[in-house]
Amino acid sequence: MTGVGLVTPLGTGAETTWKGLLAGRSGVRPVSRFDASCLPVRIGGEVPDFEPRQWLEKKDLKKTDLVVQYALAAAQMAVAESGLTVPFADPSRAGVIIGVGMGGVSSIEEAYELFVRKEFRKVSPFFIPRIIPNMAAGHVAMRFGARGPNFATTSACSSGAHALGEAVRLIRDGTQDVMLAGGAEAPVTLIGVGGFAAMRALASSYNDDPTRASRPFDQDREGFVIAEGAGMLVLESLEHATARGARALVELAGYGANCDAYHMTQPAPEGVGAAECMTLALEDAAVAPEAVGYINAHGTSTPYNDEAETLAVKRVFGEHAHRLAISSTKSMTGHLLGAAGAVEAGITVLALRNSVLPPTINLDHPDAACDLDYVPHTAREASVEVALSNSFGFGGTNVCLALRRLS
């Protein structure tokens, strides 16, 4: 990996997000983009400082949903950090994969209101291009002239992590030199918040105290906090990066992916699927469990997930599980759904590079069933060589990425 770009509820830019994480600051706040007074949940992780005109020309704003705008911004930041020369030396060997879980939800809402009012002539001709999940990858490819493989991974909360794993496979296969990969999501809308609230997946008791709502591994957790943004990473073969004199940040060394095949929303009992997924990533990276020093947990702040993930870690690591540092950065960013895996992989890159582990905030009363070291409250200096980033989604989809620090 040679570049990281982040757009999160903590702010626009990897450095801004990183500073917020180290400060233990929550990006959860009352929803401001629409009137949420009719909903039982009125909080979310909106991006507070995002200026689309900084990243897109005015003529492109009406053509794109916010989810695409986030992806374009994150991609431009990642490419800038990587130092890649654009246009690419061989555009056919540069591809784009971006995970998107829900697509252009706000554009769907806007068009639906027009259809209901029978005002068809007011529906934008860009409606379909604004809502389909692959358009984030398409727009990023057009921006950089990347003519290699281009598609979206859509696997709920694992979407962004799947994109990174599949990008690495293309590079390993020798068909691509450069991949721009990650995830993007913009679900903080009436339908997005209302839909998850209807299934009782969201924290609903913190409308007046939003920064305390996301509390992974805490006994008072009651659901996740919906959030949005994007994470994009530049992945290159070592040969390509070395030839152009680039400084590689971290190696994406292992990729595990599987399915619980158990339930629409609940994890498999005892965390069996998640454990198998972490084992696959370790085997792919040729890394012993004892070499892992940190896990960026999926850690959604839901009763089932946090306990199952804890059991999965114990199943994979045995006694070493109690020596591992684990944190859920969702405690500060909220849950970015399809973008979460990519954002959290980017955060893990920064943790390895800076030798600092972000905390899990709001862990005031640890659940007795969640008894590992979750780096509570305060960031911790630690030199870690190998870390995992977990992403588990509805439908039982699991992804684990193994990342190794490069000297």
Q: Which are the catalytic amino acids? A: 157, 298, 335
Instruction: Return the structure tokens found at 368.
Output: 């007795």
**Secondary structure, 3-state, 282-344:** HHHHCCCHHHEEEEECCCCCCHHHHHHHHHHHHHHHHHHHHHCEEECCHHHHCECHHHHHHHH
Strand runs labelled E in 186-265:
229-236, 250-259
For residue 135, how many C-alpha atoms fall within 13 Å in the half-sphere facing its CB?
A: 20
Residue closest to 41 by CA, chosen among 187, 156, 159: 187
* Residues contacting 37, CB < 8 A, separation 6+: none
Distance (Å, rounded) from C-alpha 280 to C-alpha 273?
11
Angle at 98 between CA 89 and CA 398, to 5 degrees: 130
Q: At what angle do helices 14-22 and 340-354 cross, to 10 degrees?
A: 70
- Extract the tokens encoding 59: 């003529």
Let me know how long the chain is.
Answer: 407
Amino acid letter, 187: P
Give dist(CA 301, CA 304) in Å, integer: 9
- d(CA 103, CA 171) in angstroms, rounded, equals 26
> Distances in Å between the alpha carbon of 3 and those of 76, 181, 318, 388?
10, 11, 34, 18
Strands 11-12 and 3-8 come out as antiparallel
Compute the 3-state secondary structure of the chain and give helix, strand, coil in percent, each to the nearest 5. 40, 20, 40
Query: What distance in Å separates the CA atoms of residue 130 and residue 67, rounded to the nearest whole number?
Result: 9
**Distance separating the N- and C-terminal Cα atoms of the chain:** 13
62 Cβ neighbours under 8 A, 6+ residues apart:
124, 126
